Amino acid sequence: MWITGLSGSGKTTISKIIYNKLKKKYSNIILLDGDILRNKLNIKKSDHFLSNSRTKVGLMYVNLCKKYIDDKKKFVIIATMSLKSKVHNEYKKIKNNHDIFLDVPMKELKKRDPKGLYKKFKNKEISNMVGLDIQFDKPNNPSLYLKWKKNLSAFKISKKIIKLIRHENTKSKNFS
């Protein structure tokens, strides 16, 4: 499951809710988060913020997901921005993929700003921010496209995603 959206869209929060709900019943689940992966894989922040590096990092995440799925037979939940067509296209090649796009308006993202990135951008402390001075590619035909609504909480979104996965995987012996 590939959960994507701009910074502050709720990727990490939602992926943690889903993971914690499903790990009680299924032992073959793993959660990967883009922020943690960048740290663990020693990806330099300065390199990561360049457009071509974002694609390279996204493709690295796709390969990591494939490895966990193919070699270790894991159900992978990954929360990452990776909003590049080349990354989306590679991810779509993974069997039984579920891509979820969290579409949150910029006004709401700036209001949330959990990492203070939008404020830093406004104050010209940082640049190369996806959605502001870097264009991004929305996924084409995601499994679930979630347009932000005021009353749509992270818990409600998580329930929708779990329902989608269970419905689409009713034949799977590892996840039904």
Query: What are the extents of the domains in the chain?
Result: 2-161
First-residue to last-residue Cα distance in the chain:
15
Contacts of 14 (CB under 8 A, 6+ apart): 3, 79, 102, 154, 157, 158, 161
- pLDDT of 50-72, one tens digit each? 567 888 889 999 999 999 998 88
- pLDDT of 118-140, one tens digit each? 999 999 998 888 999 888 999 98
Task: List the single range of 3-12, 15-24, 36-45, 111-120 with lowest mean pLDDT.
Answer: 36-45
Clarify whether 85 is annotated catalytic. Answer: yes
Whole-structure pTM value: 0.88
**Residues linked to residue 32 through DSSP beta bridges, in sequence order:** 78
Contact 102, 3 (CB under 8 A): yes
Q: Phi and psi dihedrals of 25, rounded to 5?
A: -105, -30
Catalytic residue among 85, 127, 172, 176: 85
Provide, rounded to the nearest whole percent, the portion of the chain with pLDDT above 70: 90
Residue 72 or 13, more confident: 13
Among 58, 48, 53, smallest CA distance to 87 is for 58
Which class is 2-161 in CATH?
alpha beta
- Mean per-residue pLDDT over the chain, rounded: 88
